[in-house]
Amino acid sequence: MNISELIGEMTLREKIGQLCQVQPNGRDQEHRVRDGMVGSLINVTGDDAYFYQSQAVEHSRLKIPLLLGRDVIHGFNTIFPIPLGQAASFDPRAVRTAAAIAAREANSAGVNWTFSPMLDVSRDPRWGRVAEGFGEDPYLVSLYGRAMIEGYQSEKIAACAKHFVGYGASEGGRDYSEASIPPRQLHDVYLRPFREAVDAGVLTVMSAFTDLDGVPCTGNAALIRDLLKIRMGFGGLVVSDWNSVTEMITHGFAGDEANAAFHALAAGIDMEMASNSFLDHLENMIAGGEVPLEWIDAAVRRVLEVKQRLGLFDEPYGPERTGIAANDALFNARSLAHKSCVLLKNEATLPLGEGIRRLAVIGPLADAAADQLGCWVFDADHNRTRTVLSGLRERLGDVRVDYVAGLPHSRSNDEAGIPHAIEAACRADAVVLCLGEDADLSGEAHCRAHIGLPGAQQRLLEAIAGTGKPIVTVLMAGRPLVLGPVIERSGAVLLAWHPGSMGGVAITDILFGEEPGGRLPMSLPRSVGQVPVYYNHKNTGRPPDQKGPAIPAGTPLDPSGFVATYIDEDHRPLFPFGYGLSYTDFTYSDILLSTDRMPADGQLKASVLVTNTGNKTGNEVVQLYVRDLVGSVTRPVRELKDFQRISLAPGESRRVEFEVEASDLAFCDIRFRQAVEPGEYRLWIGPNSASGPDILFRIE
Ligand code: GLC
């Protein structure tokens, strides 16, 4: 298909039509599609998807295929752990596989565009959408973004890097709020995953709802046209978010819908999602000379080129497919759930012994098939879901398993069921207590000001702890929770996030010996008052780990020192980024470098000896961090630069080696250039962002 020739044949209305994405109500968009007045439909699958595609490619004048978009966020019929859980796997390859499976399932239902991956670096667990992202570290978010994009697009559905840009910094963790991001942080933290996505060949980008320094992203020409399209070289299409074009009126940035359409098109938005300002006003604005036809043609070209790169002109219904074997999909869902679960505590409790004769399974999330899937699961095949209760009952055969929910649901304060739960615990050899958040306590527009256990769950935990029985607390949640009381009262704590269709079986496997592979992609706060708390922060002039100036005698404050901390809370998270236990123990020793100095275009090798000092084979995620000790601007106290997942037998030692490229240490310097600066650096290799041996090197 020659795109230029096609554009040359299109009427103005047909061109404007390509810039519109609408959600039909049943088949009410049939005539508009036949008239070539729609470029994309959203939330259409199955027979309706094929119906509309046939109207476009068989009955419209130019037979231009439709983009059929859907939020395939962490699976389609088979649901994988939420993206935050997938991030805990520290296994981008597994995430790529999951995305490819999701794409095949979605494409078999007519979907050829997913609004995923969400690449919003997020450091505020109050924000409901942390569930949809990959956490607080830009390097990790970038790796997963690439993995998902490759997974989706390898199976012929367009990926969408969203939300461009800075949505994760929504003030107060309140969705849709203003984001105040300093320019260097924007560049080094929030933009980094999008640079990686463009380099990975992502076909589409979605603008954010966010008011960024007074300019809504959807109308921000400096961001979209100049930075994303010109300087970053993005060649695909930019779609607005839902109504984010006309919401610029509410922002106070556009006077009316025509003005909103003008701002969006001028900024480089190529397709308007949901609202109709393009359809209603562009034709008149071109006739009136307010909008140059070149803008329309440029947007149409991008839309048509995405359709061409997806192969839709040749295969508008998608490639011939043999269905995905559900077992294959479920096997991968189970495996990824194993790797996503983070073991936070284990005091002689896990794995549960096969000698258990009676087990109490308690809590509102023990048999909550819908809730364990998490947010954004419109097309889930709920028959595939296996809960903790069903997983335990299947595995334990003749062992008696008593189930008591204890509470009607996670938010309930109805404690009437707690006495029955206590009775079940008293009769049992051990208790598996499944607590956390319903699926609808996270996700879009589901932010929480209090991020402890909802409802009466803490009281349920206290009551069960009072029985003195061994307790394994399994937590399902769409965000980091404040878990202090849970940690204190449980023998073991497993954070499973919302683990997806096979979550219950994967958790059962772990309770009886399969190793939990997860490491934290977000720091877990001690209290919501600490938020934002994240590992790659700046040192400040008075870091809390060094004593500040002497405090004058008689100072009323608690002598915590004049340093960056609280007088009523520890400054550190409860558990740091990268943290997670396994069923054995590891030591790190003898950190070495191939050289202690390298040129700004050089590289060096760093290695450490890792030993399994336990009596079980175990997996470890060996993590490499670097700190630039003195820069032309201040630098984070640590930054993750690489990691490797290894497996060691009991007593086995292995030297784990990394290649460190000086170019990986570049950042936005005092003159806003991406620069590698000479000077001294500290390098750690360890089990998480707060420990591990370190060594110094220089860049000349
Ligand atoms: C929503 C979300 C966006 C999603 C889109 C389509 O408002 O912000 O992430 O892809 O609308 O559902």
Q: Which CATH number fits the domain that encloses residue 613?
A: 2.60.40.10
Ligand 1 site-directed mutation target among 176, 242, 247, 273, most atoms within 8 Å of CB = 242
Q: Kindly give the distance from the C-alpha atom of residue 208 to the centroid of ligand 1, in angstroms, as a whole number.
A: 9
Q: Closest ligand 1 atom to the C-alpha of 132?
A: 9
CA of 430 to the centre of ligand 1 (A): 43
Does residue 115 line the site of ligand 1, with CB under 6 A?
Answer: yes
Q: Which pLDDT belongs to residue 296? A: 98
Answer yes or no: do 465 and 599 share one domain.
no
The candidate with the shortest Cα–Cα distance to 145, out of 116, 188, 186, is 116
* CB of 162 sitting under 6 A from ligand 1: yes
Cβ of 241 below 6 Å from ligand 1: yes
Tokens 């997983």 belong to residue: 391
Of ligand 1's listed atoms, the one at least distance from the Cα of 118 is 9
Q: For ligand 1, what atom is nearest to the CA of residue 243? A: 7
Atom number of ligand 1 nearest to Cα 115? 10
The residue whose CA has the least distance to atom 7 of ligand 1 is 242
Please check the confidence at residue 349 and state whether its pLDDT lies above 70. Answer: yes
Peptide bond into 163 cis (omega under 30): yes
Which among 205, 207, 444, 447 is the best mutation to test ligand 1's pocket, defined by most ligand atoms within 8 Å of the CB? 444
Q: Is residue 320 part of a domain?
A: no
**Quick one: 289 and 352 in the same domain?**
no
Same-domain pairing of 290 and 434? no
Burial class for 679, CB neighbours closer than 10 Å (0-12, 13-18, 19+):
middle
Measuring from atom 11 of ligand 1, which residue has the nearest CA? 242
- Quick: pLDDT tens for 429-470: 999 999 999 999 999 999 999 999 999 999 999 999 999 999
Cis peptide before 678 (omega within 30 of 0): no
What spacing in Å lies between the alpha carbon of 603 and ligand 1's midpoint?
Answer: 41
C-beta 71 within 6 A of ligand 1: yes
C-alpha torsion 157→320→34→277, nearest 10: 0
Residue 635, domain member (yes or no) = yes
| Residue nearest atom 3 of ligand 1, based on CA coordinates | 241
| Pair of tokens at residue 430 | 């051990």
Gap from CA of 162 to ligand 1 centroid (Å)? 9
- Tokens representing 308 are 């061409």
Is 578 within the bounds of a domain?
no
Residues in the chain: 700
For residue 191, pLDDT over 80 is answered with yes
- Residues 345, 252, single domain; the answer is no
Ligand 1 and 444: CB distance under 6 A: yes
Ligand 1 centroid–CA 218 distance in Å is: 13
Q: Band the pLDDT of 324: cuts 50, 70, 90.
A: low
Q: At what angle do helices 138-153 and 92-107 cross, to 10 degrees?
A: 40
Average pLDDT over residues 49-68: 98
Cross-strand pairs, 396: none
Return all residues near 402 (Cβ < 8 A) that are at least 6 apart.
358, 359, 360, 361, 424, 427, 428
- Cα–chain center distance at 516: 19
Q: How many angstroms does the Cα of residue 381 sit away from the middle of ligand 1?
A: 21
Strand order in the sheet with 113-114: 113-114, 67-70, 40-42, 20-22, 272-273
Question: Which ligand 1 atom sits nearest the alpha carbon of residue 69?
Answer: 6
pLDDT digits (tens, 9 = 90+) for 21-53: 999 999 999 999 999 999 999 999 999 999 999
Pocket test for ligand 1, best of 113, 115, 209, 238 (most atoms within 8 A of CB): 115
In a domain, 63, yes or no: yes
Report pLDDT for 321: 73
Q: Is the distance from the beta carbon of residue 124 to the nearest atom of ligand 1 less than 6 Å?
A: no
Measured in Å, residue 692 CA sits from the centre of ligand 1 at 40
Looking at the domain assignment, is residue 537 inside a domain? Answer: no
Total domains present in the chain: 4
Say if residue 203 is in the same domain as residue 90: yes
Whether the pLDDT of residue 325 is over 80: the answer is no
CA–centroid distance, 209 to ligand 1, in Å, is 10
Q: Are residues 502 and 615 in the same domain?
A: no
214 located within any domain: yes
State the distance between the two ends of the chain, measured CA to CA, in whole angstroms: 52
- pLDDT greater than 60 at residue 558: no
Which CATH number fits the domain that encloses residue 343? Answer: 3.40.50.1700
| Same-domain pairing of 217 and 350 | no
Average pLDDT over residues 596-614: 97
Is 526 part of a structural domain of the chain?
no
Which CATH number covers residue 120? 3.20.20.300
* Residue range 211-263, pLDDT digits in tens: 999 999 999 999 999 999 999 999 999 999 999 999 999 999 999 999 999 99
| pLDDT at residue 551 greater than cutoff 60 | no
Q: Is 148 found in the same domain as 122?
A: yes
pLDDT of amino acid 319: 85
- The residue nearest atom 8 of ligand 1, judged by CA position, is 241
User: Which residue in the list 120, 124, 241, 379 is annotated as catalytic?
Assistant: 241
Give yes or no for residue 129 CB within 6 A of ligand 1.
no
Question: Which of 241, 275, 378 to probe ligand 1 with, by most ligand atoms within 8 A of CB?
Answer: 241
CA 226 to ligand 1 centroid distance, Å = 24
The one-letter code for the residue type at 662 is A
| 530, part of any domain | no
Instruction: Specify the higher pLDDT residue, 327 or 141.
Output: 141
Share of the chain above pLDDT 90, in %: 94
Could you confirm whether 270 is annotated as catalytic?
Answer: no
Q: Are residues 219 and 271 in the same domain?
A: yes
Atom from ligand 1 closest to the CA of residue 209: 8
At 410 the pLDDT is 96
Can you tell me the mean pLDDT for 112-116? 98
Co-location of 214 and 86 in the same domain: yes
Nearest residue (CA) to ligand 1, atom 12 = 71
Closest atom of ligand 1 relative to the 116 alpha carbon? 10
% residues pLDDT > 70 (the chain) = 97
CA 118 / ligand 1 centre spacing (Å)? 10
Q: What is the Cα Rg of the chain in Å?
A: 26
Q: Which residue's alpha carbon is at the smallest distance from atom 1 of ligand 1? A: 242
Strand partners, 657: 607
Domain stops at, among 276, 309, 342 = 309
Residues 438 and 370 grouped into a single domain: yes
Q: Which residue range forms the structural domain that includes residue 434? A: 329-511
Cα 11 to middle of ligand 1, angstroms: 30
Give pLDDT, residue 326. Answer: 85
Q: Tell me, using a 6 A CB cutoff, whether residue 175 lines ligand 1.
A: no
Residue 323 has pLDDT above 90, yes or no: no
Is residue 665 located within the same domain as residue 556? no
